Structure 1
Amino acid sequence: MREEDSDDVIPEDDDPRCPTIPFTSREKLGYRRKWRSALIVKVLEQSFPFPVISRRLEALWEKVGFLQISSLSYGYYVVRFTNQIDYEQASVGGPWLIGQHYITVRPWRRGFNPKLAEVVSTMVWAQLPELPVEFVNKEAVESIGARIGRPVLVDRATMIGDRGHYVLH
């Protein structure tokens, strides 16, 4: 059975008071197509009114195309992009913050249920204060970073030993 057909099965004990409405695989593919360039986002440890989230995401993600932001429940939002480059930049260009609060970003997936969703990871900058100068290089900082998470990026100033001691997880 193909993945897109895996939810075609209709339960046999369908409740007549609340019937299951079946869609064909073709219909579902068509409905889902516009969501392929969408991200599900959540601001950690803070809730903001929808207009604030919308304005902040628009400003945060400088873009070529347009964003369509919709509020889900439990503090989640879905953001659809009209431009693939914008989508990719928002997907991997973080970490993203609103104020001092990190934003989790994950690709949209069919059947996403905010009530059951868990935040299992997000990218964050890890600061390494008082790091001895001999360890201020890309290899050492990545090695340190690997012990606290999965390093994604070492900032430019740290790589060349200018200043700062940051690694992105």
Structure 2
Amino acid sequence: MTTGAINQREKEEDDIEDEENYDPTCPTICFPAAEKIRWRREWRSALVVKGLGRKVSYLPLVKRLNFLWGRNGELQISDMKNDCFLVRVRNQKDYEFALEGGSWLLGDTYLIVHRWFKGFNPWKTKVLSTMVWVQLPELPTEFINKEAVMRIAAAIGKPIRVDRATKLGARGKFGRVCES
């Protein structure tokens, strides 16, 4: 899809949105669709981060995410209402790694990570899924390899990747896979 087609689609969505939100008793400020599109462009490389079931503190999160995700570029982290954070990732490789690279922990709290989307509201965000590490204990030795563990994991969820020890067959106690 071309940039022109994307901009036209976003303009049409904004027109519909403006009509749906119209309230004659409330003052209205209208922004041209081109401005809204331009303003949203910088957020396309943003991720929404929230602790699963626990509040996460800003400074430890900043330190941890810069260590984990800021390998090739700068991160800009903003705290939001409802214990949400917006993380703007400037480098595409870092963005993909942050989004798909694993299940992320801060201490003993899983971090939920998903793409920012137009109209994001921290009060209305719902957790639909998160990535977690799953151990598959007592597998026969010959099944502790990437191919077998990924196939077994597909029966219980959406396997993302196996850990390094499983890939190398370095440990024989269990196979471990990241699932979504």
Same fold (TM > 0.5): yes
Alignment of 1:1-169 (within 5 A): 2-9=9-16, 10-11=18-19, 14-16=23-25, 18-163=26-171, 164-169=174-179
Relative to total residues, which structure has the larger helix share, 1 or 2? 2
Work out the CA distance in 2 between the residues paired with 1:70 and 1:78.
5
RMSD: 2.0
**Kindly tell me: are residues 156 and 48 of structure 1, through their superposed partners in 2, closer, same or farther at Cα, counting changes over 3 Å?**
closer
Q: TM-score, normalised by structure 1?
A: 0.88
Which runs of no fewer than 5 residues in structure 2 stay unpaired?
A: 1-7
Secondary structure class of the residue paired with 2:48 = strand
The amino acid across from 2:100 in the alignment is: V
CA offsets, 1:144-169, max 9 Å, x none?
20122101112232234221510111
CA–CA separation in structure 2 for the residues paired with 1:64 and 1:3: 31
Cα deviation, 1:1-43, whole Å, max 9, x if unaligned, reads 7244312243385244x32321112111111111111111111
Instruction: Specify the code of the residue in structure 2 equivalent to 1:129.
Output: P
CA change 1:131–1:118 in 2 (3 A) is same
**Counterpart of 2:64 in structure 1: which amino acid?**
R
* Unmatched tracts of structure 1, length 5 or more: none
TM-score of the superposition, structure 2-length normalised? 0.83
Contact 1:8–1:22, Cα closer than 8 Å, also in 2: no
Change in CA separation of 1:4 and 1:153 when aligned onto 2, cut-off 3 Å: farther
Q: For 1:135 and 1:157, locate their aligned partners in 2 and report how far apart those are by CA, in whole Å.
A: 13
- Among the aligned pairs, what percent are the same residue? 50
Aligned length: 168
Secondary structure of 1:47's counterpart equals: coil
